[in-house]
Amino acid sequence: MLYSRGLRRIGSAVLTVAIVVMISGSALLLGSDAAEPPVRIPSNVAWTATTIAKASSGNPLRGLIIARRCDRCHGREGFSSSPAVPNLAAMDRLVVWKQLDDFRSGKRSSPVMQPIANSLSEQDTADVAAYYWMMPIAPDPMDDRAFPQPLPDPKHEAVAVRLITAGDGSRGLPPCQACHGPIGLVTGAPSLTTQNAPYLLEQIEAFASGRRANDINLRMRSIATQLTEEERQALSESYGAGLAPSAGPPAR
């Protein structure tokens, strides 16, 4: 009798411990599942009236002096001699300002650009942006530009024209010109029609892999991940040759 009661008590204790363990484990499990991942803010730039005024307040003459340190990579005329380096001539000043701020805050990673951006004050950044914004894109006999590059394969050109002008509704892809303009130049967006193909391809692939993530609202990351290898190459080649569907081939 006593032996049976002891067994029952031991059994009850074991059952109680098991229930407590199960409840505790469930709570931990539910807690880990329910926990929201940390929000990744792609950029510290918020386009308020104050921010736009600050980014637009640059002095291009002062920017010219500051930008002399940029000549080695981006070219004295704003066109790089290296196809892997972006051209900055005529780049919208809001775009230049945002990218420099993203480099400074670490939202966009580059071992070369981050130290440079950190050396610039907000006013310096606005001045440099104003300087490049005012630079012409017409060829200059004195510059050493790698742009424009050879015309793309006709097959690739057809693929690029379709994506630039119409996108692909079946995949939810908007046309490139919706953000970047019909000739690749528009206020507030990076200019594409003045960039070299290797640089553009590298940026598309960086967005697709998540290595670059400073695009607000995931626009480029969500688009780039859906592009095929051929489409990425086609877009890069077409813009890199200075082509835009409504502008025709570049002057040679």
pLDDT, tens only, 127-186: 999 999 999 998 888 888 999 999 888 999 999 999 999 999 999 999 999 999 887 778
For residue 248, the SS3 value is: strand
pLDDT, averaged across the chain: 85
- Per the DSSP assignment, residues forming a β-bridge with 248 are 244
Query: With 80 as the cut, is the pLDDT of residue 251 above it?
Result: no
Q: What is the pLDDT of residue 37?
A: 53
237 near 224, Cβ under 8 Å? no
Residue 25: which pLDDT band, with cuts at 50, 70 and 90? very low
Query: With 80 as the cut, is the pLDDT of residue 55 above it?
Result: yes
Domains and CATH numbers, the chain: 49-133 (1.10.760.10), 154-240 (1.10.760.10)
Alpha carbon 206 to chain centroid, angstroms = 8
* Total length of the chain: 252
Q: What is the pLDDT of residue 39?
A: 65
- pTM, two decimals, is 0.80
Host H or E run for residue 126 = helix 122-133
Tokens matching residue 51:
């921010």
Taking each helix axis from N to C end, the angle separating 154-165 and 229-240, rounded to the nearest 10 degrees, works out to: 90
Query: With 80 as the cut, is the pLDDT of residue 247 above it?
Result: no
Tokens matching residue 107:
């939202």
Q: What is the pLDDT of residue 12?
A: 53
Tokens matching residue 21:
């363990």
pLDDT, tens only, 63-100: 999 999 999 999 999 999 999 999 999 999 999 999 99
Sign of torsion, CA 7 8 11 13?
negative
Residue 16: which pLDDT band, with cuts at 50, 70 and 90? very low
For residue 20, the SS3 value is: helix
Question: For 206, which DSSP code?
Answer: H
Nearest by Cα to 244 from 169, 137, 143, 171:
137
Nearest by Cα to 195 from 145, 161, 155:
145
Tokens matching residue 171:
């995949």
166 near 175, Cβ under 8 Å? yes
- Per the DSSP assignment, residues forming a β-bridge with 189 are 186
Q: What is the pLDDT of residue 113?
A: 97
Tokens matching residue 139:
């060829």
Determine what percent of the chain is predicted with pLDDT higher than 70. Answer: 81
Question: For 186, which DSSP code?
Answer: B
Nearest by Cα to 130 from 96, 93, 99:
93
Q: What is the pLDDT of residue 29?
A: 38
Q: Which amino acid is at 123?
A: Q
Question: For 36, which DSSP code?
Answer: P
Task: Compute the distance between CA of residue 53 and CA of residue 103 in angstroms, rounded to an integer.
Answer: 20
Residue 248: which pLDDT band, with cuts at 50, 70 and 90? very low
